[in-house]
Amino acid sequence: MLVSTTGLTKRYGAFTALDGCTLGVAEGETFGLLGPNGAGKTTLLRLLLGFITPTAGTASVAGHDCVRDPVRVRAATAYLPGEARLFRRMTGHEVLDFFARLRPGCDRQRATTLARRLDLDCGRQVARMSTGMRQKLALATVLATDARLMILDEPTANLDPTARAEVLELVRECRAAGRTVIFSSHVLSEVEASCDRVAIVRAGRLVHEQSLEQVRRRHRITVRLQGPFAGLPAGVPIASGGGRGGITVRDGGDGVVVLDDVDELAPLLGWLSTVPLTEIRIEPVGLDAIYDAFHRPAAAGRPAAVA
């Protein structure tokens, strides 16, 4: 693993910002960190970079301990903070020049190319740039490096839809080039479109981890039956009370039955062709449903489970 943490914890007095986080990020992987503001995502990233010291646990990047050898960790990493602050009196060109001279492995010509792709006017003084323009400038400086690990904290914040799409394309290009990317966001669609694997952070704890390939296989089947529901065919796994490890069956009322967490459609489609029904709808579930389970309260009036 290029990035590894074990029991990583950070407390500020009685407040726990990160609690017992254990995860690994493989070389060449694009890893998404999801969670609302204050969930602990930025605390985790700052611990990885050695900017703050953990209360407990360990972390390493590229084989270097994040506490004992933070300089080597940062040498292997390019970091876009959530609120990048640039020299306000410099022009965009001067900022790119400064970071290209400061950072070994930062390609000045590539930074210029990236700025053009993001439709950024680098002749303007930073103080006269909009928040979105400053974000583009920060992205150009970070993505122009050849670091093994790219840590991007809310990289699309304050960007218009066109620029957001371009940033996601740049992240995919990093992955294609063999770079490792940690993509921290609270925008579900962006993580789903660009990441290989995702972790969900809630109140300082890592509560869920899953590959996006598995997420994309999940479906919801909604059927309206002509008669009573007789149950799923033999051999189809049904989830336990916690809703994990199988298909969840819910009664939607008025003859409607909803099947959630369907990974394999073929066995159920064969069975459904034999069931008397008047309506069927099959839709991908996506990351929203997984996120909802950990961060959003259950909707009032949600259909009850079928016994």
Q: pLDDT by residue (tens digit) across 16-42?
A: 999 999 999 999 999 999 888 888 999
Q: Is 195 in the same domain as 66?
A: yes
Higher pLDDT, 289 or 221: 221
Which CATH number belongs to the domain containing residue 6 in this structure? 3.40.50.300
The verdict on residue 299 lying in a domain is yes
Domain range for 116 is: 84-146
Number of independent structural domains in the chain: 3
Strand partners, 34: 185, 200
Name 183's Cβ contacts closer than 8 Å, sequence gap at least 6. 30, 31, 32, 33, 152, 155, 171, 190, 191, 194, 195
User: Considering the domain boundaries, does residue 168 fall inside one?
Assistant: no
What residue type is assigned to position 10 of the chain?
Answer: K
The whole-number pLDDT of residue 245 equals 57
pTM above 0.85, yes or no: no
pLDDT at 300: 35
pLDDT band at 229 (very low <50, low <70, confident <90, very high): confident
Residue 262 lies in a domain: yes
133 and 244 assigned to the same domain: no
Q: Say if residue 224 is in the same domain as residue 186.
A: no
Quick one: pLDDT at residue 83? Answer: 83
Between the two ends of the chain, the Cα-to-Cα distance in Å is 43
